[in-house]
Amino acid sequence: MELNICHLYPDILNLYGDRGNIITMKRRLEDRGIKVNIEECSIGQPLDISRYDIFFIGGGQDFEQEVLLRDLASGKGRGICSAVEDEKVFLAICGGYQMLGQYYKTWDGSQLDFIGAIDIHTIGAKERMIGNYMFRTAPESSGAVVVGFENHSGKTYLGDRVAPLGTVLKGYGNNGEDQTEGARYKNVFATYSHGSLLPKNPVLCDFILQTALVRKYGDAEPLAPLDDTLENNAHDYMEQRLQKG
Ligand code: GLN
């Protein structure tokens, strides 16, 4: 078996080590004898969506998101939308999550029209939502408790066709108002969680990888368990700290 991963805009959207998500996916697949190819696609480079099973988009500040608008409008945005509809797997973090939505109205009044691959929109608030946080993913997105770090001024609101990735246990999540965190649409997993996310959330990582294998190969065998002592220690330490705080 083999999975092909596309890292979109790695040189522009990469806050708080979001690239660690790619390293983790690669490592957890290779440890099970599954071959992984990783390619990068940034501004000015054509995107052939048929080559990939998983797309990763990291976070970025308002400025970086604005820089990408022209490149997205030149055809990449349409490609991303059709990959989403084709049930390819996406993992999108923070600025990358917002970018999959309809638009982002920044707190200082500019409107960034994004690609509308998922039915969400984001409104900037002057006060930033910052800190370690945790949420419980919905059963259809593994049911795991996820720990992470959020830092955003955008408040994201989900449209009718999009489910939250999970429910906030501590912190702000999508908007600090409705307890929702992230978004799940088809095989898109989107979240505000930097950290990076996957190294200390192995259950969610394997769920995403399994989703990609099932999409590609039909009935894929469950992934063999790995020794996750270190990963679980990191996860549980943060979960306990947040519970106390
Ligand atoms: N620019 C966005 C915001 O502040 C995203 C920030 C991020 O990716 N951390 O809302």
What CATH number is associated with residue 156?
A: 3.40.50.880
Per the CB < 8 A criterion, the answer to whether 197 and 144 are in contact is no
For residue range 50-84, list pLDDT tens digits in order: 999 999 999 999 999 999 999 999 999 999 999 99
Q: For the chain, what is the domain count?
A: 1
Active-site choice (41, 194, 205, 235): 194
Give percent above pLDDT 70 in the chain: 100
Which of the following is catalytic: 94, 152, 205, 235?
94
Task: Say whether pLDDT at 219 is over 90.
Answer: no
Task: Give the pLDDT confidence score for residue 72 in this predicted structure.
Answer: 97
Residue position matching structure tokens 């992230």: 182
Q: CA distances (Å), 191 to each of 36, 39, 133, 205, in order?
A: 23, 22, 12, 13
CA angle 141, 55, 24 (to 5 degrees): 70
Look at residue 215 in the predicted model and tell me its pLDDT.
97
230 membership: H or E segment, kind and range: helix 229-244
Residue 220 has pLDDT above 90, yes or no: no
Using alpha carbons only, what angle is made at residue 137 by residues 186 and 7, rounded to the nearest 5 degrees?
55
Q: At what angle do helices 202-217 and 229-244 cross, to 10 degrees?
A: 120
Task: Label residues 171-192 b or e (16+ Cβ within 10 Å = b).
Answer: bbbbbeeeebbbbbbbbbbbbb
Distance 183 CA to ligand 1 centre (A): 16
Tens-place pLDDT, residues 11-28 = 999 888 999 999 999 999
User: Residue 226 is part of which domain span?
Assistant: 2-244
Tens digits of per-residue pLDDT, 107-166?
Answer: 999 999 999 999 999 999 999 999 999 999 999 999 999 999 999 999 999 999 999 999
Cβ–Cβ under 8 Å, residues 121 and 86 = no
